[in-house]
Amino acid sequence: MSAPSESFRIDDFAGRRVVVVGDLMLDEFVRGDVARISPEAPVPILEVTGRSSTPGGAANAAMNVASLGGRVKVVGVVGADAAAGVLEALVERAGIDARSIVVDASRPTTQKTRIVARHQQVVRIDQESRAAIDATVGAALIAATQSALADADACIVSDYGKGVISPELVAAVVEVARKRKIPVIVDPKRRDFSAYRGATVVTPNLSELEVATGMRCSTTAEVVAAGTSLLAALDGGAVLATRGAAGMTLLRPNMEPVHTHARARAVFDVTGAGDTVVSTLALALAAGIDITEAIEIASVAAGLVISKVGTATVDTAELLLAMKGQTPS
């Protein structure tokens, strides 16, 4: 497939209003050096040299939209805890509207702590609940989402399987989106893709595609077969299979597959690459860019983010340079 046309302007993304609804997370990184083994047990001792936190999950998708010039509202659930305060402060500092976040004191804010020794992740510690949210919180989420979508140009549904995304919530999103004629982009986690019925495009990675279909996805032909088998469940929506180093494959009802090549120059960390894909795709579709060109742009953005360490974003300057075939400094 050819590169995006010269008509693409990064300015087309600026000011596009995107609602991100999904599983909000706080990613914490504890970094240090290992020079000794503990006398208490055969485990390394990490001498901590630094700590940092960054928005993760659906919040990272929102950060990507903001860094590319979009105006973002984020909808999700946090606990009544310190991690919630840190997460909300981080997203607000990035200019993201966090007023639609719902607090559920019965569950913790999802937090992933990665212990990193000299750029090598040693262990990850998760604090989370994967149980479905209760009916009261679910109703509050739907109301918050409907309100946020009132002036949106696109919606991202970021499903990390932590209980926030339900078929009822997706149906509410699709109902508003169809009335307003705006695209809905889903980053999926569920086995049953009928939960995403009515979405414009669903973006499974190869593992998610195999789980959803029970089919092997080792070759292009297998990816096409698996993705095509899901189209009926989506009621006209498309499947964009993200294939890592093999690029992406777009599948639409009654149309030939479209393949893009991966654009990564070096791979350091794939954390958050899916968030970058859906964020770039949402902005491109909101700007009226055809989906075949939009996935090329998303491929370039994903190639940039996986060349960085940790949960990262791509900004407009980086993307513009990469679109021109230049290497960002």
* Strands, E assignment, 40-173: 44-57, 71-75, 77-78, 102-103, 110-117, 120-127, 154-158
Q: Which residues are catalytic?
A: 275
Calpha distance 64→248 (Å, rounded): 19
Q: Which has the closest alpha carbon to 242: 303, 309, 154?
A: 303
274 three-class SS: helix
Q: Residue 295: name the closest of 228, 211, 231, 239 by CA.
A: 239
**DSSP character at residue 307:** T
Tokens of 21: 């609804």
Residue with token string 């305060």: 85
Query: Which pair of structure tokens corresponds to residue 152?
Result: 């949106």
Tell me how far apart the alpha carbons of residues 268 and 305 are, in angstroms, rounded to a whole number.
9
In what helix (H) or strand (E) does residue 88 lie, and over which residues does it extend?
helix 82-93
Task: Compute the half-sphere exposure of residue 315: CA atoms within 13 Å on the CB side of its CA.
Answer: 4
Q: For strands 201-202 and 238-242, give the pairing.
A: parallel
Q: How many CA atoms lie within 13 A of 320 on its CB side?
A: 13
User: How far apart (Å, rounded) are the C-alpha atoms in residues 187 and 147?
Assistant: 21
Angle at 261 between CA 259 and CA 263, to 5 degrees: 145
